[in-house]
Amino acid sequence: MDATRGHPGRPAHPSTGPAASLPDGWFARFRAVMTGSVDLGGEILDGKISRTIVLLSLPLIVSNIFQILYNLVDTYYVGALGPEAIAAVALGFPFIFLIWAVGIGLSVGITSIVSRFLGAGREDLASERASAGIAMALIFTVLLGLLGLVALEVTVRSLDVSGEIKRLTRDYVYILLLGTPFVFLELACSGIIRAEGNMVVPMYALVVGTAVNISLDPVLIHGWYGAPAMGVRGAALATITAQGIVMALLLTYVATGRTRARIRLRHMRARSHDIRQILQVGFPASISHLMIAIGVFLWNALAAGISDETVAAVGLGFRLNSIALLPALGMQLAVTTIVGQNVGAGRFDRVREVVRTSILMTYVYMVTVAIVLNVQPERWIAIFTDDWTVISEGGMFLRIVTPSYIFLATTIVIGGAFQGAGDAVPPMVIHSLRMIAITVPVAWALMYPLGLAANGLWIAIAVSNLAAGAIAWIWFGKGSWERGHAAVLEA
């Protein structure tokens, strides 16, 4: 038994431990983390839990702040084009989310298996799985790009919206689909880098990409500086340009051997064992995100039965909802890495403490956001549109849905813990219930038989958030996630 760790067969981490790797004082630690001058590997396995969560979450939260800034700017410039453009972007969201769902699933699968092997001290096996992950990203690029094109045509034709909205939706999504290879390679590389606890490199790459995207938005959307005004097509072109830059930065970092899990050409092949281990987490994680895309599509379909303005309200409400949750989702990514390495090391009690501490910290954030968004919520919607019907319905969305954010804290954190441990089926089931199985039938009953119209949909979303949080807490307590250690022992 390793006397320094208390667990059999686990090699010591190459870092010298938290006392030697971190300077004294929170400001000094923050500066060290944000400049990437400190290795947090020792913190993940042995550091103070609340400090570890904060230190790993900081770069992710900063990344998400820039993502919030991009979303706000992008929504502002698109909103100036009118309700039709807003509705087109809202309708295009599920198709793009289809690509991101699979890409994020792959990224989560890579992070989960690579972090567990790194936690067990097996960098050779971590390198094999990382290389296989890059190969899988290239395969998925082709498959999902073609699937996205087919799904777009079939779905747009079936929607009960105006011809102008259909045209704008096609214009927007066709261009974004060209960025499919950028998305998959960016997310695969991010998964490899974050598996070792390095959240700083993806952060800086995202900051650069966000700056490019924000700079290009007004130029390409509204035709600044003599450029042609491309409308929603300009928004899409700005997005894929930024995605290409982020991908190039991250791929260069990984390909030049800067990570503990090294990419080697001889391992970049689709071996069944490597694929199985990545997809055991990645496939359910992708389905979880697909459930979000399908759920939003069904919400749009329900809203389309009321009016185009209601569809736009769903789009803006969900966009603000996504923006508000980004810091909490950053916490989720940190939990995935921390739990992955500790499950790989067989430290189950530490995993439970990580989850409890993370939920408490996320509660504080969620309550704060709910209060802020509930103070004159129409003002938040009015930032993006001057259509009073959209503003009124979007404001009710925020009034009804935001109080349920506290229950989302449990769902988000526990979902990251399950995925880090290699047990991604529970989050998949919970997302399916939250986005579809609970929300859609409840919304239909409230909207039509009971005559609550759009308010029925908002109430159903809040009820599903509450139910999902309760189910996640009960499921995690059963301890099925502990089996994730078996994959390390088997290898």
Give 235-296 as a DSSP string: HHHHHHHHHHHHHHHHHHHHHTT-SSS---GGG-S--HHHHHHHHHHHHHHHHHHHHHHHHH
Please indicate, yes or no, if residue 2 is contained in any of the structural domains. Answer: no
- Give the pLDDT of residue 172: 87
pLDDT (0 to 100) of residue 4:
35
Residue linked to tokens 């490597």 = 274
In a domain, 455, yes or no: yes
Longest alpha-carbon distance in the chain: 70
Q: Looking at residue 322, what is its pLDDT?
A: 73
Please check whether residue 20 lies inside any domain of the structure: no
In a domain, 21, yes or no: no
Whole-angstrom distance, CA of residue 430 vs CA of residue 270: 30
Print the SS3 string covering 189-240: HHHHHHHCCCCHHHHHHHHHHHHHHHHHHHHHHHCHHHCCCCCHHHHHHHHH
Amino acid at 436: I
Residue 38 lies in a domain: no
0.85 exceeded by pTM:
no
Per-residue confidence in pLDDT tens, the chain, 491 aa: 333 333 444 444 443 333 345 666 666 666 666 665 566 667 788 788 888 888 888 888 888 788 777 777 877 888 788 888 888 887 777 777 778 888 888 998 999 889 888 887 888 888 888 888 898 898 888 888 788 778 777 777 777 677 778 888 888 888 888 888 999 999 999 999 988 888 888 989 999 999 999 999 899 988 888 888 888 888 889 989 999 999 999 999 998 888 888 887 776 776 777 788 888 888 898 888 788 778 888 888 888 888 778 888 888 887 777 777 877 888 888 898 899 888 888 888 899 999 999 999 888 888 888 888 888 888 888 887 888 888 888 889 899 988 898 888 889 899 999 988 888 889 999 989 999 999 999 999 998 888 888 899 999 999 999 999 999 999 998 888 887 666 666 66
In angstroms, the Cα distances linking 460 to 5, 339, 442 are: 48, 32, 6
Predicted confidence at residue 417, as pLDDT, reads 92
108, 419 contact by CB (below 8 A): yes
- For residue 469 the two structure tokens come to 């949080």
- Residue 72 in any domain: the answer is yes
Q: Which residues span the domain enclosing 422?
A: 43-490
Residue 30 placed within a domain? no
**What pLDDT sits at residue 445?**
93
Query: Would residue 144 count as lying in a domain?
Result: yes
State phi, psi for 227 to the nearest 5 degrees: -75, 155
Distance CA 166, CA 142 (A): 25
What single string gives the DSSP state of each residue in 394-407?
Answer: HHHHHHHHGGGHHH
Looking at the structure of the chain, the number of domains it has is 1
Q: Give the model's pLDDT for residue 11.
A: 43
Residue in 59, 380, 67 with CA at minimum distance from that of residue 214: 67
